[in-house]
Structure 1
Amino acid sequence: MAEAHQAVGFQFTVRPDGVDLKLSQEVIKNIYLSGVTAWKKKAIQFKNGVLTGVYPASPSSWLIVVIAMMSSLYTRIDPSLGMIDAIKENLPYKRCISLQTRAVLSAILFATGLWLFFIYLLRYTLKALLSYHGWIFESHGKMSASTKLWLSLVKMLSGRRPLLYSFQTALPRLPVPRVDDTIQRYLESVRPLLDSEQYNQMEMLASDFKETEAAQLQRYLILKSWWATNYVSDWWEEYIYLRSRSPIMVNSNFYIMDFLYVTPTHRQAARAGNVVHAMLQYRRKLERAEHAPLRALGTVPMCSTQMERMFNTTRIPGIETDIVQHLTDRKHLIVYHKGRFFKVWLYTGGRHLLPSELENQFQRILNDTSEPQPGEQRLAALTAGDRVPWARARIKYFSHGLNKVSLDAIESAAFFLTLDEEPQGYDPAKPDSLDVYAKSLLHGKCYDRWFDKSFTLISYPNGKMGINIEHSWADAPIIGHMWEYVLATDCFHLGYSEEGHCKGDVNRGLPSPTRLQWQISAECQDVIEMSYLSARRLADDVDFHGYLFSEFGKGLIKKCRTSPDAFIQLALQLAQFRDQGVFCLTYESSMTRMFRDGRTETVRSCTSEAVAFVRAMEDPGATKAQRLALFLRAAEKHQNMYRLAMTGSGIDRHLFCLYIVSKYLGVESPFLKKVLSEPWKLSTSQTPQQQLNLVDINKFPKYVGAGGGFGPVADDGYGVSYIIVGENLITFHISSKFSSPDTVRPLYPPSTWRHLIASLLVFFHSISSPSVSNCRTPVGSASTFGKP
């Protein structure tokens, strides 16, 4: 054990003539280095905290102001208009201080106050500037003079080297939309989904709500928006994620894949060593707030709050609601392999373990032939099943003794690593390779990922990697930011030897990984088995397909002056209609991180304009010019809705919060109840890529990721995630359930995805024509949208 290894550094023997004390120089050296590192870390955190606290000013600017005020004492010019003299006369203990000292102290105090005033003035000026969102609504490539002036002012006030959290206090609050606007947009969004009678009924419900409960609920919501930093995010986390009692595996957690075409090494332990080391580097910069904040247009800052809980975080189950537990400065990792749990220390001598040292530790685990303890192999199935049984089992069986110690080790770990036994990854020779890879990342065997951890890193025997992410603490762009850094660092900075091992010497003197010890009773094993069977049924019901579309991509779509996202969303609407014969409520995720503590908003992609375009595509009598015009109108409508969602004028988060307020007040609203009960049969999301631009994919086209995916939101619907990779590749991750007759097509047994993919291909091929390939005008010629 690591603890025992450290203990042998101190030995003493009691003798008749005294105590014989022996000290290990190696241990003393490690203790000294650990202390130096800890104090150095605290000093850096303190320094960066000061820099963030006074941003956009700097500590040196305080010195300049003080010098200027001190100079005024000698020039007998009083820029304070008498305030320095007033401070001098009101200083405590002035009789004990000389007149000259009082004058100096007064000047310093006034200068400090003036400096703080300018800091707040700059912050609120920057906040006012960042509240302007007109630039989002301007045509791509065209920028008005007012926007150029605004952009210059933001750049000027943003400083030169902002740290990760420098902009947090300058970010504007998420505004509460007007109820009338939200209701109008909601009715507009459901118009294409309802017949005349249903729509008239919904209009009546909306009108009654607007005339009765709306004003009262809106007042409480505005009050919350003044008091809280964000009127949505805390309720969204609690009621959408933490209060859900259904399994988070498949239903909530999502995954991200490795590189598509590149595997830097086929040695499992070596790849895990480099990736874990890169994650530790990222965590160190995160703890010190040294990452640069993400900025739109390279200027407009995004909120960084979600990044705080990336590491050392676990979702703790409860009977009624879960909680998110975030710790600091955790120095160990938990590794799962063949039904055993191992604790691996990540530091030695005050530094991170080197990649070669981590490889050696992981190889020791791979070589370990010990058997799992009773109940240990499927223990993690508790985190995959329903939340209430897990919460009760945690209280009853894991609140004392060895079980508590071992569970605490898992829940306090930096993150969780699984060394899988079966190779995964994309193989062009195997059409279903991405499907199997996706299901492995999403749920695995239902007991070999700790689904409650902020993320589980998964390492495969062929060197491939991936991550499974718990959703409550953050959204996909946050973990995607870290994953881009890790993959780039792994391949382009750390690298491997010719034999595929991590670079550097191997330190074999490190203590071996420690097995976690369990005492799992037969009764507890029954609970574990029940959770496993429940999770297994859920996992077996999920069908997945990953599809790579490489005939064209963002490059061609942009040449046609069309938003790639709008293009894909319209393709999905056409695919959904051809698959189901009806339109459905469609969810597309949009971020609101331009506001403080912002997370997401919904874009309702099934618009009247999209429906008109799809019907034209299905109408043999419609001309290509008509289809093209309808497509342009639908794409513009989608883009406008996306912009409204990003700027705080979305529909669904506002209605959700009004509903929560109504529940607190005991107010029954048929309108809100109807809105919140509507199912999202088509749930979509675009995976972000190239947030950091650490890899030039034009120079290294093989170093592209496959993105990630999630399970279906509705039992009878589809979940579609897509990533627009570079200029010529779009990757789709499509999920549904075998149990739904609506998504199973006997013509394409046994999978549910084939009909949807076929529909997508029909649409893509319908515009993949020479006229589009050579287009330089908006979307090409009138022959673009010929129906095959």
Structure 2
Amino acid sequence: MPDTALQSNLLKRLPIPDLKDTLNRYLDRIEPLQDEKQNKRTRKCVLSDENLELMQTLHEKLLQYDESLAHENPNSSYIEQFWYDAYLLYEASVVLNSNPFFQLQDDPTIKDTSETGTGPYGIFTGQVKRTAKLVTSILKFIKEIRHGTLKADTVRGKIPLSMDQYGKLFGSSRIPPGPGQESCHLQTDTTSHHVIVMYKSQFYWFDVLDVNNVPIFSTPEELEWNLYSIIMDNEKRSNDGESDYTANVPFGLFTTENRRVWANIRDYVFHSVDSSNWKNLKIIDSALFVICLDDVSFYKGQENELVKSLLCGTSQIDLGSANAARPLGVQQGTCSNRWYDKLQLIITRNGKAGINFEHTGIDGHTVLRLATDIYTDSILSFARGVTENVPDIFHADGTTGIKKPSRANLITIPRKLEWKVDSFLLSSLHFAETRVSDAISQYEFATLNFDKYGSSHIKSTFKTSPDAFVQQMFQIAYYALYGKFETTYEPAMTKMFLNGRTEAIRSVTHQSKKFVKSLFDRRSNDEGRIKLLQQACAEHSRITKECSMGMGQDRHLYALYCLWNESYKDKIPLPPLFNDRSWNLINTNVLSTSNCGNPSLATFGFGPVTANGFGIGYIIRDNSVSVVVSSRHRQTHRFISLIEKSFLEVDHIFERQEAMANEADPPEKESRTSSMSKGKPRTYSSLKSDDLRFLLGGYDYFDVSVSG
């Protein structure tokens, strides 16, 4: 039996928590975010007879729904369809609002040729070779999925995880609503065998798998010429001074639009007399994934621009005279070289690589597995060329029982998609470009590569969970800047259950607030701060474990609300909880955070989920922590600077404690006089960090009683 099928037989269905437990957890999570008066009102509302009676009715309906679902589709979960709808009913642009990105570490075996021009493909050599290696590895990954031989995901090598999302990773596309439809839908073509390649906003396609889902291109070298020929086709057009700019329309800009706008455009294309554009769309929709070859390079010091390009694309407007009569030609940024409705592999001119993905059917953990495997395989491919017995993370071709790939009836040479445009499509493209340019200009990004310590130091010295610790650092930084606490979200993976997605970890607790406030309270001492830190981290870890077991509060309550909204809104009143201000508060995630740690990643990030929020993606390594912060110009750089200061400040606290311990009980060969200062022993309360004024942005200790 294939690994993936075996795993699914070992998994249980996602549990629906007891209603009483869910409501108690909800009250526990919301209480730290409210003042006493607000919380009293919320408790009265949640625990009222009316609310409990209505919630119990919905809870019983949810149990019935799940029982029916289990009978009709055993490999399902109660939250699955509601979670899909949460994405598919969303009408705003997916750019900056939904799609995240992963940046892979650089490939040390590939040199940057973008300036030297050395190598078989000149300045494009590094880009072509990095792309070919990664694509070859992705094709191996796809073969494993379709043959059912992909090694199963586990926790610590023992606990099996759900593998259902891998079936939606490739060949999938987010399709805008059709006439009369309320929402988008996720389309997955399980027979897809081709890829789309974009360069300078132009589209090309060719087959990469045969009918048996075996890669046609078994080595990177076989792919390189296809990629190079696509680049040179466009470079030749540019050098020839092609004047008909309508032949180079950036059709990918339509995927940056509001879903209803994009739906209207697709409907217009569908009803056009000439079917060329519609056929092009079907080729793109059904492709395995999209390869975006960007004609720009990013170097040291341009990390923030690289993050922007991988997440939403850059917007660079050229108002030169050459573009005066070409309204679509003024956009020179990478935002027009994207197709945001699908999984995208993005490679810059100097070989920087990243993945941008449509989020509906897949979560970060699934794409992280893809990123890890393809990066590892692409690096190992170099080792295989110089030595024998190099381990392979994928099954060898001979173990699948499939013969060599057949090229019969396959298109292996790139074909360009030619678009037929008219005034409506050109105007629509123009406004799509201006709208996405506006959106990009409203956001800023900041990166932190903290290399003073990482998970090893956090576990050995601070005696806490690395993830819980980093979450406390975010709280310190925000409190230092604003003197209050806001709703914070961190996803917990629930893939230990069939079709599990995520549950919401709520990072603000009474314990975290006490710890954070202790740093700014002159009456606190380091011994107390350390104790409070460890208590806060322990509570965060407890909540995380609870959520991972499906015993959170957000998903259960959300399912109850969706069930009411879809099936019972005309039959029973809305439970008062959903009209209480606390419901809006807990769903307004000012700090939206996510941890996707793995050595194969350089950075990871996403946009803020509220207008006044921060999006925080972070990676915890053994000896470093990388953080990417995005916001709509909410002092992003100042905030990430305070995150760095928070890391340093807590380390100083432990250093001072160790120094005090050594002075109180020094080694025999050391003088005991060092423990005295002016004839008096030093105390914890007399020690104050020299860096606190920087942590507070130029201020000093403040009265925590006046803050939130």
- TMscore range, shorter length: 0.7 to 0.9
Partner of 1:732: 627
Q: Does 1:450 align with 2:339?
A: yes
2 CA distance for matches of 1:297 and 1:418? Answer: 35
Describe how 1:139-538 pairs up with structure 2 within 5 A. 163-208=3-48, 210-228=51-69, 229-238=76-85, 240-259=86-105, 262=108, 264-266=110-112, 267-318=126-177, 320-347=182-209, 351-353=215-217, 354-368=219-233, 369-370=236-237, 374=246, 376-398=248-270, 401-424=275-298, 427=300, 430=301, 433-444=302-313, 445-453=334-342, 455-494=343-382, 512-538=413-439
Distance 1:488 1:668, change over 3 A: same
Post-superposition shift, 1:170? Answer: 2.4
Q: Residue type matched to 2:554 in 1? A: D
Distance 1:471 1:632, change over 3 A: same
Q: Residue type matched to 2:304 in 1? A: D
Summarize deviations over 1:568-619 as a string: whole Å, max 9, x none: 0111111111122211011011100111100100000011111111111110
Post-superposition shift, 1:413? Answer: 0.9
Describe how 1:738-757 pairs up with structure 2 within 5 A. 738=633, 743=634, 752-757=635-640
Give the gaps of 5 or more residues in structure 1. Answer: 1-50, 53-162, 499-506, 691-703, 744-751
Q: Residue type matched to 1:543 in 2? A: E
Distance 1:676 1:287, change over 3 A: farther
Q: Does 1:567 align with 2:469?
A: yes
Partner of 1:689: 598
Summarize deviations over 1:148-207 as a string: whole Å, max 9, x none: xxxxxxxxxxxxxxx123121321111111222111111111212211221111112212
Query: SS of 1:649's equivalent?
Result: coil
1 CA distance for matches of 2:195 and 2:201? Answer: 16
Q: Which has the higher contact order (CA 8 A, sep 6+)?
A: 2
Post-superposition shift, 1:540? Answer: 1.3
Post-superposition shift, 1:381? Answer: 1.2
Q: Is the 1:570–1:635 Cα contact (8 Å) retained in structure 2? A: yes
Q: Is the 2:276–2:420 Cα contact (8 Å) retained in structure 1? A: yes
Q: Residue type matched to 2:568 in 1? A: L
Q: Residue type matched to 1:311 in 2? A: F
Partner of 2:317: none
2 CA distance for matches of 1:172 and 1:610? Answer: 33
Q: Does 1:623 align with 2:525?
A: yes
Partner of 2:535: 633
1 CA distance for matches of 2:510 and 2:284? Answer: 50
Distance 1:514 1:769, change over 3 A: same
Query: SS of 2:47's equivalent?
Result: helix
1 CA distance for matches of 2:64 and 2:688? Answer: 53
Q: Is the 1:315–1:325 Cα contact (8 Å) retained in structure 2? A: yes
TM-score where L is the length of structure 1? 0.71
| Segment drifting more, 571-580 vs 371-380 | 371-380
Partner of 1:767: 650
Q: Is the 1:373–1:518 Cα contact (8 Å) retained in structure 2? A: no
Post-superposition shift, 1:523? Answer: 0.6
Q: Residue type matched to 1:338 in 2? A: K
Q: Residue type matched to 2:136 in 1? A: H
1 CA distance for matches of 2:551 and 2:210? Answer: 51
Query: SS of 1:463's equivalent?
Result: coil
Distance 1:388 1:496, change over 3 A: farther
Q: Is the 1:313–1:412 Cα contact (8 Å) retained in structure 2? A: yes
Give the gaps of 5 or more residues in structure 2. Answer: 70-75, 113-125, 314-333, 387-406, 665-682, 693-708
2 CA distance for matches of 1:496 and 1:757? Answer: 41
Query: SS of 2:197's equivalent?
Result: strand
Post-superposition shift, 1:677? Answer: 2.6
Partner of 2:667: none
Q: Residue type matched to 1:333 in 2? A: V
Post-superposition shift, 1:402? Answer: 0.3
2 CA distance for matches of 1:393 and 1:249? Answer: 18
Equivalences, count: 583
1:594 to 473, 478, 496: 496
Describe how 1:84-123 pairs up with structure 2 within 5 A. none
Post-superposition shift, 1:512? Answer: 3.7
1:549 to 430, 450, 453: 450
| Segment drifting more, 528-537 vs 561-570 | 528-537
Distance 1:399 1:324, change over 3 A: farther
2 CA distance for matches of 1:676 and 1:393? Answer: 36
2 CA distance for matches of 1:296 and 1:187? Answer: 30
2 CA distance for matches of 1:495 and 1:513? Answer: 30
Partner of 1:73: none
Query: SS of 1:253's equivalent?
Result: coil
Q: Is the 1:767–1:786 Cα contact (8 Å) retained in structure 2? A: no
Q: Is the 1:265–1:496 Cα contact (8 Å) retained in structure 2? A: no
2 CA distance for matches of 1:278 and 1:774? Answer: 49
Percent identity reads: 26
Summarize deviations over 1:514-553 as a string: whole Å, max 9, x none: 1112112111221222222222211111111111000011
Post-superposition shift, 1:558? Answer: 0.9
Post-superposition shift, 1:262? Answer: 3.7
Q: Residue type matched to 2:584 in 1? A: S
2 CA distance for matches of 1:458 and 1:343? Answer: 16
The structure number with the bigger radius of gyration is: 1
Query: SS of 1:731's equivalent?
Result: strand
Post-superposition shift, 1:234? Answer: 1.6
1 CA distance for matches of 2:11 and 2:384? Answer: 42
| Segment drifting more, 273-282 vs 191-200 | 191-200
2 CA distance for matches of 1:219 and 1:511? Answer: 55
Q: Does 1:723 align with 2:619?
A: yes
Q: Residue type matched to 1:549 in 2? A: F
Partner of 1:670: 576
TM-score where L is the length of structure 2? 0.78
Post-superposition shift, 1:399? Answer: 5.2
Q: Is the 1:712–1:736 Cα contact (8 Å) retained in structure 2? A: yes
Query: SS of 1:733's equivalent?
Result: strand
2 CA distance for matches of 1:345 and 1:399? Answer: 28
Distance 1:247 1:518, change over 3 A: same
Q: Residue type matched to 1:279 in 2? A: I
Summarize deviations over 1:324-362 as a string: whole Å, max 9, x none: 111123222111111321112325797512311211011
Summarize deviations over 1:380-433 as a string: whole Å, max 9, x none: 1111110001011101114551001111111111110111010125x2xx2xx2
Q: Residue type matched to 2:468 in 1? A: A
1 CA distance for matches of 2:523 and 2:371? Answer: 49
Query: SS of 2:335's equivalent?
Result: coil
Q: Is the 1:384–1:447 Cα contact (8 Å) retained in structure 2? A: no
2 CA distance for matches of 1:733 and 1:706? Answer: 10
2 CA distance for matches of 1:555 and 1:773? Answer: 20
2 CA distance for matches of 1:522 and 1:532? Answer: 15
Output the aligned Cα RMSD. 2.6
Post-superposition shift, 1:774? Answer: 10
Q: Residue type matched to 1:559 in 2? A: S
